[in-house]
Structures are given as C-alpha cells and as structure tokens.
C-alpha cells in the first residue's frame, strides 16, 4: 500500500526537517481508533519515486513494528522534546519543550494596517520593548516601559496593538505561525506578528491611553510624529514577568 504526498517538510528554527518514516496503526473494523483500539502497527520508509526536480514522495511498503523499536523511538523523541541544546541568547527569558518567552528591545519595524479608520497603510514606526510568549498553542505579547532586559519584578503593560486581546493573546488571523519552539525561530515568530495586517481592536480594555484613542495614536505613529514610541501612553496590566511565568506554569499543567 502506498500513499502519494508532496515533498513534506517542517521548518523548525533555522533548519528544516523532512518526513522520512511513517507508522501505520491498525484496529478492528468499526473501532473508533482510540489508543486502546490499536492491535497492530507497521513502519514504512518514505521514498521519492519521482525525480529531484519533480519529486513524488510516497509511503513505501512496510514491515511489522516490534515492541523494542516502538520503545526506542519514543525514548528518542522524548529526549528531543525535553532537551533544548540551543544556545540561549540574552533576549530569551524562559524556555522549555512547551513554551518560550523572549524580550524584543524597543526598535523600529514596519507595520501594516487595513482598517476603516486608518485605511490601508504601511510604515516603519517605533515600537516599545515587548515580551512575547508562546505556550503550547497559545501566543501572547506584552509591552514594557523600560529599555533594559526585564527582570522578574518588571511590570507589564498591554501591548498597544490591534489584533491583541485583553489577556495579551494574539489573534493570528491569516498569519503563518512557525512550527515548533526554538530560539532560532524567534525571528519567524516576530515576523509573523509584524508582517500580518492589523485590522481591528480586540477586547474591551483600552490598550493605549492616548487622549484621542488608539486609532489616533497609530495615525500619529504612521505619520512619523514620534522618533521613539511614546511609552507614557502604555496602559499597565497590573502584572509582572513573575506573574506571567506563574500563568504560564498553570497553562502548561493543563492537559
């Protein structure tokens, strides 16, 4: 039995990984396919039956999987998921197999807007220091008033962006999120946030204290009024980096 597929690969940080083997699980006809239903397993190589220019990757004929092979495979996967051998740069605040928190210093980056109030606009504007967090399938961003690397007692502010909810979670929309958690993927996570269109304000809390509102703040930023982001308009979240870490631990404890 073979199954045709494209040249399937995943981008994980600075390198790509490709599909090389497949395991097929068999159960009785009519079973729901839950973990307790499987009775037999086969392992298969994934081979290119086409050419390098026109690949045709397929799951080739297989052979029975032994108990020893399954145990060895999952032990190896467990090591890969729990051990992170990336060099930890200064901007990484916390990392594990299921989460990563990092700091982006204040800088200038392009932003893209597509709203009724601002129209369709793009410009390179100043941004405050930011803290990003990826926890399992959740993605968050928060703002900082200071310019130094945050500590546990550093206060957090609402990120003053559209497409961000009151709890800091990011509405990804059509943004292509990177696969996997690795320090090498940080530029891709940041690009996924900044390269997507900001289309609407999420949540009920104000994300910026500009006297004429958030649209007025971003209009001024797009018009080049500020050389640095006006941090006096950031709204405190009544939380700190330590509070964020505590919330992350709770999320990671959920199944």
pLDDT-derived band at 146 (thresholds 50, 70, 90) equals very high
Higher pLDDT, 30 or 156: 156
Cα distances (Å, whole numbers) of residue 159 to 40, 151, 219, 229:
50, 18, 17, 12
pLDDT-derived band at 215 (thresholds 50, 70, 90) equals very high
* Domain assignments of the chain as residue spans, ordered by start: 4-82, 92-253
In angstroms, the CA 241 to CA 65 distance is 46
* Rounded mean pLDDT, 28-39: 69
- Do 193 and 131 meet the contact criterion of CB atoms below 8 Å apart? no
* Rounded mean pLDDT, 150-166: 95
Nearest to 84 by CA among 16, 149, 12, 133: 12
Per residue in 68-127, pLDDT (tens digit) is 888 787 777 766 655 555 567 889 999 887 899 999 999 999 999 999 999 999 999 999
């Amino acid at each position: 039995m073979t199954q045709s597929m494209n040249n399937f690969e995943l981008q994980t940080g600075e390198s790509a990984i490709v599909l090389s083997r497949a395991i097929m699980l068999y159960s009785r006809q009519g079973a729901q396919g839950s973990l307790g239903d499987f009775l037999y397993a086969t392992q298969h190589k994934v081979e290119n039956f086409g050419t390098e220019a026109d690949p045709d990757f397929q799951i080739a004929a297989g052979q029975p999987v032994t108990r020893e092979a399954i145990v060895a495979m999952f032990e190896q996967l467990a090591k890969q998921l729990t051990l992170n051998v990336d060099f930890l740069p200064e901007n990484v605040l916390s990392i594990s197999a299921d989460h990563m928190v990092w700091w982006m210093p204040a800088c200038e980056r392009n932003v893209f807007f597509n709203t009724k109030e601002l129209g369709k606009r793009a410009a390179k504007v100043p941004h405050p220091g930011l803290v990003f967090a990826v926890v399992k399938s959740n993605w968050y961003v928060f703002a900082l008033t200071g310019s130094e690397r945050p500590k546990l007692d550093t206060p957090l502010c609402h990120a003053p962006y559209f497409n961000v909810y009151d709890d800091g979670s990011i509405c990804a929309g059509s943004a292509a999120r990177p696969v996997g958690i690795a320090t090498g993927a940080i530029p891709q996570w940041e690009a996924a946030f900044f390269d997507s269109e900001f289309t609407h304000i999420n949540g009920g809390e104000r994300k910026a204290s500009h006297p004429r509102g958030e649209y007025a703040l971003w209009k001024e930023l797009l018009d080049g009024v500020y050389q640095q982001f006006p941090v006096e308009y950031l709204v405190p979240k009544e939380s700190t980096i330590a509070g964020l870490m505590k919330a992350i631990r709770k999320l990671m404890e959920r199944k």
